[in-house]
Chain A
Amino acid sequence: MGIGGGSDMYRQQILDHYKNPRNYGELDDATFSHTGENPSCGDTITVDVRLDDDDETIEYVAFSGDGCAISQASASMLSERLQGTTLEELEAMDTEDITEMLGVDISPMRIKCAVLARQVAQDGAKLYEGELDDLDVTKTED
């Protein structure tokens, strides 16, 4: 198919993660937590991350939020993907890694939905490491 998107974006895996989100909720003992939104869509995602004692390995990720199937399924899949990886690996993830993870072509207008969770997790990590200051809420560009 072309890159027009449409129903092909809604393969079983996406719908499954949307309807049965993995690791959904909040962590009482999160090492850091960060929130982001797509102002134009109303998608919101909060990512809670708990690190191992080495302060580098991601032990557990939970997310909560509200929004379209693409943004929520992407957050659910990312929460699984990140367990056991390092902050460095998280910060190296790009848009292509996300579309590969989702396993479907995302139409250009919907990319910002797909990458929201990654952006929130990355900004959260940067804030925790002191590489970014004064960011209350991540907002993805149109």
Chain B
Amino acid sequence: MGIQEPYPLDVEAVRADFPILERKVGGDVTVPGEGEGDTTPLVYLDNAATSHTPEQVVGAIADYYRSYNSNVHRGIHQLSQEASTAYEHAHDRVAEFVGAEGREEVVFTKNTTEAENLVAYAWGLNELGPEDNVVLTEMEHHASLVTWQQIGKKTGADVRFVRVDDDGRLDMDHARELVDDDTAMANVVHVSNTLGTVNPVAEFADLVHDHDGLIFVDGAQSVPHMPVDVQAIDADFFAFSGHKMCGPTGIGVLYGKQHLLEEMQPYLYGGEMIRKVTFEDSEWEDLPWKFEAGTPVIAQGIALHAAIDYLEDLGMENVHAHEQLLAEYAYDELTAYDDVDIYGPPGDDRAGLVAFNVDGVHAHDLSSILNDHGVAVRAGDHCTQPLHDKLGVPASARASFYIYNTREEIDELVEAVDDARQLFA
């Protein structure tokens, strides 16, 4: 043990922005919020499922509802203009954050899953046929796996899966075998929510483009945690969710190259997405509004803008470095136990999450015991059931880190894991 490396972030200052981290737990779960019986300090390590929301973002939501709440794009009155401007600027901010050309390439959806479905329905159903194939990976989240699997059944397109090797990395030789001139679409997860693997998506994009196919990159676990440039990756489509990056639930982002979005038919029909309507026919609004039918996610979009401001103030490089430090620490602490199995690549080559099992302890039992220590982790298949089948386990426990987590919290996790080991020994 030497002197510990300092955190890349001012963790104490960050934690002060998240009052929920002061919460205690252990009481009646049917009553939301801290109450009687809540006596154990919370250690929140379920950030890959959802992150917490800083005061700055809560404030942006409150400010919108308190001072300029209004529907967008349909009022000449002042509040509507203010809301419209803020909502449109949120698209610009997102575009800048991930390196898109502009707001035309940024569609707000409900979440990553809806972004996947938008492309699967609006593009996949119209473009795919029995002669085509769609290439996925064995580590895809159900959001893309189930979506393209079902679109494959509807269109007759062959859906194929790139193998994950024993180290939890994509077998790129296998990818080169599977991707061929009939590959119309590939869907690759940028960072695995189960293995923590950071996939070579730019290399994958080159491979698919060499065969004139398109690539959809699922960035739900990358954009919140590291600098991402969709043009550097050369992704045709890219998606992520607001609630995993200090934003609210109810907003996701679909990035698409402008010419592709222009060629695509709408996914949902209704108000907001039309320019002209007669009883006989309709004309579509410009991008991105063509894909945002009905009253859109106004408060959520404005809050996502605030979340991006918050993260960029910290610096995405620092966010990434902080999480890597924690992931490596957790990996090293947990691998000290022979009966703890960790899935995915080594500690110095993974994103900020660790999924694991303890021999002889079911993941749900483990998670219940951790909960008693106030440690919140996810237990289950993390929406990667086929990957868990391949790993030969029904479920795993997953600790996932964010900007406010500390080494002391990981010590709590490890202590609770040790407790479970002894209870079941």
Interface residues of A (CB under 8 A from B): 1-10, 15, 18-19, 40-43, 67-70, 107-108, 110, 113
Contacts and interface: CB of A to CB of B under 8 A. Distances in A.
B59 interface: no
Nearest to A19: B424
Given A10-B423, A42-B395, A3 B381 contact: no
A4 B29 contact: yes
Nearest to B361: A69
B28 interface: yes
Interface stretch (B198-206, B323-331, B364-372): B364-372
A88 to B, nearest CB: 33
A16 to B, nearest CB: 12
Given A41-B394, A42-B394, A113 B26 contact: no
B28 A10 contact: no
A107 B369 CA distance: 12
Contact of B365 (A1, A4, A69): A69
A10 B365 contact: yes
A29 to B, nearest CB: 31
Interface in B352-380: 361-365, 368-369, 371-373, 380
Contacts of B393: 42
B365 A70 contact: yes
Given A3-B28, A41-B394, A69-B361, 12 more contacts: A3-B30, A4-B27, A4-B37, A5-B371, A6-B369, A7-B369, A15-B423, A40-B381, A69-B424, A107-B368, A108-B29, A113-B364
Contact of A2 (B26, B373, B395, B424): B26
Contacts of B29: 2-4, 107-108
B368 A110 contact: yes
Contacts of A42: 393-395
Nearest to A67: B362
Interface in B22-51: 25-30, 36-37
B23 to A, nearest CB: 13
A9 B26 contact: no
The 4 residue pairs across chains A and B that have the minimum distance between CB atoms: A42-B394, A6-B372, A68-B362, A2-B37
A2 B30 CA distance: 10
Interface size class of B (residues with CB under 8 A): 20 to 34
B371 A4 contact: yes
A56 to B, nearest CB: 36
Interface in B390-412: 393-395
Contacts of A1: 26, 37
A8 B365 CA distance: 11
Q: Looking at A2, A8, A19, which has the most chain B CB atoms within 10 Å of its CB?
A: A2
Nearest to A66: B394
Q: Looking at B26, B372, B373, B393, which has the most chain A CB atoms within 10 Å of its CB?
A: B372
Contact of A10 (B27, B369, B373, B394): B369
A48 to B, nearest CB: 23
Contacts of A70: 364-365
B6 to A, nearest CB: 34
Contacts of B381: 40
Contacts of B361: 69
B181 to A, nearest CB: 39
Given A2-B27, A4-B26, A110 B364 contact: yes
A107 B363 CA distance: 15
Nearest to B374: A6
9 contacts: A1-B26, A2-B26, A2-B29, A5-B372, A10-B365, A40-B380, A67-B394, A69-B361, A107-B29
A137 to B, nearest CB: 15
Interface string B414-425: 000001000110
B37 A5 contact: no
Contact of A4 (B28, B363, B424): B28
A10 B361 CA distance: 12
Contacts of A108: 29-30
A5 B25 CA distance: 11
Contacts of A113: 364
A14 B67 CA distance: 56
Contacts of B364: 41, 68, 70, 110, 113
A8 B423 CA distance: 11
B423 A7 contact: yes
Nearest to A3: B28
